[in-house]
């Protein structure tokens, strides 16, 4: 068992973070896995939504399970190429990510970084000196919500990606929103009230 693959992008400016699942939240989810750079497509409104989080001073951390590697459908290097393409695309959209964590394992590996385990989030909290009580996890699956809960982080479930199916299985407390722009609007509105 190994630690998640960490990719640094920028120095965090704040101990408050938004953790983002990748497939189904930031980019289109593919039922047979995202296997090629050519298949990468940002979901509508993602660039402007993430720029709002940057403007609000939040650290942005992508945390993604990529069992496509553990199932030997693509190599880790191919997965990292796809991931770099996504992060480069976000950079071109004016988005500044703080870091990314990628777990290449399958569930049978028992890896502590594979969501619903909180390892990617707790690694980021430790590595980047983040405050879980001031942070939020946004995902499209119950495993994202559970990883957030186990890391002591608020969770939001979006209905994009797998979210419409997953919402019926939701057991842990989570705010349910339509999509990433809706999640960001809800967060920014709340922060403006408490500021």
Catalytic site residue from 8, 23, 179, 189: 23
C-alpha distances (whole Å) from 90 to each of 51, 56, 127, 149, 190 are 10, 17, 22, 27, 25
* E strand map for 96-187: 99-103, 136-139, 154-158, 175-177
Q: Is 81 a catalytic residue?
A: no
Q: Is 179 a catalytic residue?
A: no
Catalytic site residue from 8, 21, 127, 189: 21
d(CA 184, CA 167): 19
What are the two backbone dihedrals, phi and then psi, of residue 117, each rounded to the nearest 5 degrees?
-65, 150
Q: How many residues does the chain have?
A: 195
Q: Which residues are catalytic?
A: 21, 23
């Amino acid at each position: 068992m190994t630690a998640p693959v960490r990719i640094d992008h920028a120095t965090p400016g704040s101990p408050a973070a938004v953790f983002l699942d990748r497939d189904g939240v930031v980019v289109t989810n593919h039922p047979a896995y995202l296997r090629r750079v050519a298949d990468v497509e940002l979901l509508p409104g993602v660039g402007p939504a993430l720029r709002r989080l940057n403007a609000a001073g939040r650290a942005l951390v992508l945390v993604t399970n990529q069992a496509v590697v553990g199932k030997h459908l693509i190599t880790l290097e191919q997965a990292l190429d796809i991931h770099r393409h996504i992060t480069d695309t976000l950079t071109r959209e004016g988005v500044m990510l703080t870091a990314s964590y990628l777990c290449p394992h399958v569930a049978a590996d028992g890896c502590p970084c594979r969501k619903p385990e909180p390892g990617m989030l707790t690694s980021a909290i430790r590595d980047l000196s983040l405050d879980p009580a001031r942070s939020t996890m946004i995902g499209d699956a119950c495993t994202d919500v559970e990883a957030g809960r186990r890391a002591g982080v608020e969770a939001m479930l979006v209905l994009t990606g797998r979210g419409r199916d997953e919402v019926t299985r939701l057991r842990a407390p989570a705010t349910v929103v339509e999509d990433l722009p809706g999640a960001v609007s809800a967060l920014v509105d709340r922060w403006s009230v408490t500021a």
